[in-house]
Structure 1
Amino acid sequence: MATNRLFNSLNNVFITLVSLACTLPMLLVLMVSFTDERAIQRNGYQLWPEQFSFDAYNLLLLGSTPLYQSYMISIIITVVGTAIAVLITGLAGYTLSSSHLRYRNHLAVFFFITMVFNTGIVPWYLISTGLGLRNTIWALIIPTLLFNPFNLFLVRNYMRQIPQSLTEAARIDGAGDAFIAFRIFFPLSLPVLATITLFYGISYWNNWFNAIMLVDRESLYPLQYLLFKLNSEISMIQSMQSTMDLGINAVLPSESVKMATAILTIGPIVLFYPFLQKYFIKGLLIGSVKE
C-alpha cells in the first residue's frame, strides 16, 4: 500500500513537471506577443516583458488587413471540409471493412499505392483548374477533400474489430448498408472518427498552399495565408529599411507579430480539442455483443 502511494506521488510529480515543460513555451509565445519590439531587440524573449505593448495585436486586428473576413473563411472551409472528408472516409472505411465486399483487398492496395507514390503539383493544379475551382471558395475545400489514405486505413482497421454478429443481426432484421453504417458502425467508431476529425480539422485550418495556387481574390484569403502574407510584407519592409536610407525611424513589431500570429491561429484548435477528447476512450465495444 505504501509502495502504491509512493508511486502515485512520484507519478503526479512527473506529470506535473511534464505539463509545465509543455506549458512554458506556450506561455513564452503569449508574453512575447505582448512585448514591445524594442524590448525584444534588447533583451530577446522573456517570460515577463520589460515593456508591454499591444502593437502586434493592433496591427493584426485593427489594421487594414481583412483579418475577420479571413477568420470566417478559415472557419467555413474547416467545418465544411472536415465534415465532408470525415463522411467520405467513414463510408470508405466501412466499405473496405465489410466481409461481403468482393475485391476489398485489391481496393485497399489501390489506396495504399497513393500513400507511396505522389503524382506531383502539375497534375494536381491542372485538375483543380480544369474543374473550375480557381478563385472560388471550393478551391480551398475540394483539393484537400479527398480522404487521406492513412486516415482511411485507421478507420478500416478499427471497423474490422466490430463483431460481425452485429452486422448479421441487422441484416436479418432487414437493415441495409446505409442503416448499418450510420446506426451501428459510426456510433461504435466514434473514437477513430473523432481522431480523423481532429486530423482533417488541423489540416484544413493550417492550409495555405491552396490559396497560393488557386486564389487571387483577397476576399477569399484564409487566415493562414493572410498572416503569412502579412509577415512576408513586414520582413520585406524591414529588409528595405536595413539596406536603404528611407528616413523611417519606426520599428515594426516583426517578432511580436509572429508570436501574435501563432496565438491567433492556434486558438480555435486549442478550444476545439476538448470537445473531441472525451471520445478518445477504450472499451467502447465492451458489452455491445452478448455472448
Structure 2
Amino acid sequence: MRETTIPSTVSQLRVRKTRGPNELSAPANLLVNVFFWLYTAACLMPLALVIIVSFSDEKGVLIHGYNFLPEAWSLEAYKFMFKDWHQILRSFGISVFLATVGTAISLILMSLYAYPISRSDFPHRHFFSFFMFFTMLFNGGLVPWYLVYTQLLDLKNTLAALMLPLLVSAFFVLLLRTFFASSIPMPLIEAAKIDGAGEIRIFSRIILPLSMPVLATVALFQVLNYWNDWFLNLVFISGSKNINLQFMMYKTMLDIQFLSSNVQASQGLSQAGGILQLPTETVRMAMAVLGIGPIVFAYPFFQKYFKKGLTVGAIKG
C-alpha cells in the first residue's frame, strides 16, 4: 500500500489566490486609473483657466490671449464687478431663494402627481399620464403663456413669476412615475396597508425614503434650472429689484459690450476728458466664477443622498 506524502513546508500548503472574473489585473487597473486621472484633469482644466483669467490683467489677456500663466495678476475685474455690491448681494439672495424654495415645492408637487399615476389600482392613471405627456408635445405659445402670468394671475415683477413656470416638468413627472412603478414593490405597500398605514403615511414614510436616488436627481436638475434661468427675468421683470444673479450678470455684460462698441459714447467721454477703459474678457470670466461657484457646492450635498438612496429600504425576497 502506497504511503501518502505529507507536505512538510508551509509553502506547499499555501493556496494560490485566484482572481475573480470581474477583477482587473495590476497593469489593467493602473491603466484605468491613469485614464480617469487624465479625464478628470481634462474636465478641471477649463474651470481652472476661467479662474486664472478672471484674476489676470485685462491688457495681458487682450494681447496674449488666455494663458494658464498670465503676464500680470490683477483684481480689477472683481473690483469693477463689486462696485455695485448691494445689487449683487440682493440678486444672489434671490437666486438662492428660488433655487431652494422652488426646488422643494417642485419636488413635492411632482411627487404627489407621479405617485398616484404609478399605482396599478388607480383607475384614472392612464388619463392623467396622457394629460401630462400631452404638455410635452404641445403648448399654448409664448403670447398666451405671457398673458396668463401677467393678466390673469397678475404676477409681473414678482418672485412668483420666476418660480411658478418651472415648478412642474412633464419629463420629471414621468421619470418619477416610472421609478415608483418599477422600483417600489407592491407587496410592500400592501403590507403597510395591512398594518394600518394610510396613503399619506405610506407615501411619506415608505415611498419617499425608497426614492431618494430619483428625487436627488430631479432636485439637482431643478436647482440648476432655477439657478441658471435668466429668460423669466427678461420676460416678467421690468426693474432691477427682483432680478436674479444670472440676469444681473447678463445685463452687465450687455452694458459693457454696448459701451465698448459705441463710438459716440467713447467720443463723448474723451471730449469730457475721460478715458473709457472697461474690462471685458476678465469681467466675463469673473462673472462665470461668481455664477458657478455656489452651485458647485450643491453636488456633494446631493451625492450623499445618491449613496443613501441606493441602500436604504432593502427587502428580502
Aligned pair partner of 1:204 in 211, 226, 232:
226
The answer on whether the counterparts of 2:210 and 2:313 sit within 8 Å (CA) in structure 1 is no
Match in the other structure for 1:218: 240
| Structure 2 counterparts to residues 50-69 of structure 1, below 5 A | 50-63=71-84, 66-69=87-90
Q: In 2 relative to 1, CA 188–287 (structure 1 residues): closer, same or farther, beyond 3 Å?
A: closer
Match in the other structure for 2:8: none
Match in the other structure for 1:46: 67
* TM-score, length of structure 1 as denominator length: 0.94
Cα displacement string for residues 136-176 of structure 1 (whole angstroms, at most 9, x for unaligned residues): 1211111222x111111111111112100111011112212
* TM-score, length of structure 2 as denominator length: 0.86
| Structure 2 counterparts to residues 95-174 of structure 1, below 5 A | 95-129=116-150, 130-145=152-167, 147-160=168-181, 161-174=183-196
Q: In 2 relative to 1, CA 9–137 (structure 1 residues): closer, same or farther, beyond 3 Å?
A: same
Identical residues among aligned pairs (%): 41
| Structure 2 counterparts to residues 23-42 of structure 1, below 5 A | 23-42=44-63
Match in the other structure for 1:271: 297
Letter of the 1:206 partner, please give it: N
CA distance in 2, matches of 1:282, 1:6: 33
Compute the displacement of 1:76 (Å): 0.8
Aligned pair partner of 1:86 in 107, 118, 123:
107
Compute the displacement of 1:286 (Å): 7.8
The answer on whether the counterparts of 2:92 and 2:244 sit within 8 Å (CA) in structure 1 is yes
CA distance in 1, matches of 2:287, 2:265: 26
- Residue aligned with 1:141, SS: helix
Structure 1, 124-133 or 228-237: larger mean CA deviation: 124-133
1:18 partnered with 2:39: yes
Compute the displacement of 1:72 (Å): 0.5
- Residue aligned with 2:202, SS: helix
CA distance in 2, matches of 1:102, 1:237: 62
Compute the displacement of 1:217 (Å): 3.0
Compute the displacement of 1:184 (Å): 0.4
Superposed CA RMSD in Å reads 2.0
1:289 partnered with 2:315: yes
CA distance in 1, matches of 2:44, 2:127: 46
CA distance in 1, matches of 2:208, 2:307: 15
Structure 1, 95-104 or 183-192: larger mean CA deviation: 95-104
CA distance in 2, matches of 1:215, 1:118: 23
CA distance in 2, matches of 1:54, 1:286: 48
CA distance in 2, matches of 1:80, 1:41: 41
Compute the displacement of 1:135 (Å): 1.3
Aligned residues: 290
Structure 1, 271-280 or 184-193: larger mean CA deviation: 271-280
Which sections of structure 2, spanning at least 5 residues, go unmatched? 1-18
Cα displacement string for residues 47-93 of structure 1 (whole angstroms, at most 9, x for unaligned residues): 12111111111122233661011000111111111100011111112
